[in-house]
Amino acid sequence: MKAHITDLLGHAATHIGVDATQLNIIIDRPKSAEHGDFSSNLAMLLAKPLRQNPRAIAEQLIQALPHSDYIAKVEIAGSGFINFFLSAQSQQTIIGDILKAGDMFGRNNLGKGENVQVEFVSANPTGPLHVGHGRGAAVGDCLARLLDANGWNVTREFYYNDAGAQIENLVISVQARCKGIATDDASFPENGYRGDYIVDISNAFLAKQTVTADDMQVTASGNVDDADAVRTFAVAYLRHEQDLDLKAFQIKFDVFSLESALYSTGKVESTVKALIASGKTYEEGDALWLKTTDFGDDKDRVMRKSDGGYTYFVPDVAYHYDKWNRGFKRVINEQGADHHSTITRVRAGLQALNAALNISIPQGWPDYVLHQMVTVMRGGEEVKLSKRAGSYVTLRDLIDEVGCDATRYFLAARRADSQLIFDIDLARAQTNDNPVYYIQYAHARICSVLNQWEGDVTTLKMVDLNPLNMPNEAKLMQRLSEYPEVVVSAGEDLAPHTIANYLKECASDLHSYYNDTKFLVDDVPTKLARLALIAATQQVLKNGLDLLGVNAPQKM
């Protein structure tokens, strides 16, 4: 309908002597129903070039609008807004559109099948996934689903930081527990990990167990003094455990990448050589520095420390150069807010590579979506520890407490850059205060009515919708018509929480309609029209829940 109104205004603008091909005609939905179904500020945009009063231009545009059966009336509001009121016929067409499109309703081809990579979770294999990783998993997977719905060819990728100091802390922790050293013993490594999962790894290593994780299968040697063997087994063990957590969270990845592979294949070294060749590095204090200030950073950054080791952002630059070489002209990294400081450094490194390697990585590439911390509450008090992890709440804790659906919804339903309070009691509640229950219950209510009807839902595509003339029916139809626009805006803004907000509003409209209306009435035309409306609502709720990775139950 926005496209239709845009076309009407384009014809009207041409009629009054404006080159419509040069116009950016914006159509919005007014916040108040009294201002119509759609509104445009075109008259105000034309006031300066036409040197006329906006209301006078609006009157000219309205006079020049071609006839449309979908428009009941057009009014001027305020300083020159043009408000469009849809006819009942145009409001009703959305029902047939939804029922015909089914699962495809709301999907589009804006991405034109171009490749995009979404990297998310990317947890160090040093322990179970915590609730912060869970938020990254929920937001990242929803982003991937949204981009897919908007016509992109999406690759989901998990990057394991399986090298560096934290992995070495893992190794010495497992070795200590293998030797029977308790976490409260003075000889236990100061920077060691103290969760019960270290005991599990140690016992498995001593028992010479075999673990499988994605692309690797490792059998423990049982040799506690072989640090390399301990490292390989412990990393594989925790990768396998994280895989199980992600499976329970309904998350699937297309690609798993290892930081260690960037070193073993020489990609880090070749990237460093290219950065040196770019002329953007210098030696100082026995360290190698990158001139990140040339690319907007507040100070230059150390690449290679005086001990010869690389700082953490260097493999990140090599990793993203590898992404570019794999053909991803669009990359989105969903990470925790603690990664904020790395963004400028990674982008600076990539820009420095452009001249040295004769490539053209755009400024501001890749994109980042950063999520804030999660506070878990139960009984009005913060939950801080998990016995298994020892120092944090795990993702599996939440899934076991409230289920996958509620966990996914709650972790994705707020803006990623806002702090999130996860209320376990609310997430478990089977009341209207629990938004995921409220939305799923709306879907189940519709299914119950359709099951009582016992008719063929496919026949509802062609029924007469004229009996739908009540205000709550018009409100629900308008809400359904907004869904494709919400999918587009959520995809453009990388904001899956807007889908969650929309679903709450749609469920609210449905519950109000359900509570005030009888559906299986004796009058057949009225019955079929109302059933068509709620069947379309059911489809939209299902499609929206799928974008969040949440089930749409038929019974509750």
> Given this model, what pLDDT does residue 216 score?
82
The Cα–Cα gap between 509 and 442 comes to: 9
Q: What is the pLDDT of residues 99-152, one digit of tens each?
A: 999 999 999 999 999 999 999 999 999 999 999 999 999 999 999 999 999 999
- CATH code 1.10.730.10 for 432-547: yes
Residues 6+ apart with CB under 8 A from 32: none
Give the ranges where 73-129 is alpha helix by DSSP (H): 88-101
The Cα–Cα gap between 239 and 124 comes to: 9
The Cα–Cα gap between 343 and 355 comes to: 20
The Cα–Cα gap between 452 and 440 comes to: 19
Q: How far is CA 141 from CA 164, 334, 399, 422, 430, in A?
A: 27, 9, 16, 19, 26
Q: Do domains 2-86 and 432-547 have the same CATH topology?
A: no
Cα of 519 vs its chain's centroid, Å: 36
Q: What is the pLDDT of residues 309-345, one digit of tens each?
A: 999 899 999 999 999 999 999 999 999 998 888 999 9
Cα of 343 vs its chain's centroid, Å: 19
Q: Which residues make beta-bridge pairs with 281?
A: 290
What tokens appear for 539 in the block?
């489809």
Q: How far is CA 332 from CA 64, 320, 365, 401, in A?
A: 45, 11, 9, 31
> Given this model, what pLDDT does residue 88 score?
81
Report angle CA 137, 139, 141 to the nearest 5 degrees.
65
Encode 78-91: b = buried (16+ Cβ within 10 Å), e = exposed: eebbbbbbbeeebb
Q: Which residues of the chain have pLDDT under 50?
A: none
Encode 414-452: b = buried (16+ Cβ within 10 Å), e = exposed: bebeeebebbbebbeeeeeebbbbbbbbbbbbbbebbee
Sign of the Cα torsion 133, 138, 139, 142 reads: positive
- Identify the three-state secondary structure at position 309: coil
CATH number of 2-86: 3.30.1360.70
- The answer to whether 118 and 332 have CB atoms below 8 angstroms apart is yes
The Cα–Cα gap between 202 and 218 comes to: 14
Break the chain into its structural domains and give their ranges: 2-86, 165-254, 432-547
User: SS3 breakdown of the chain: % helix, strand, coil, rounded to 5?
Assistant: 55, 15, 35
E strand or H helix that includes residue 244: helix 227-248
> Given this model, what pLDDT does residue 387 score?
65
* Strand intervals (E) in 259-305: 281-284, 287-290, 301-304
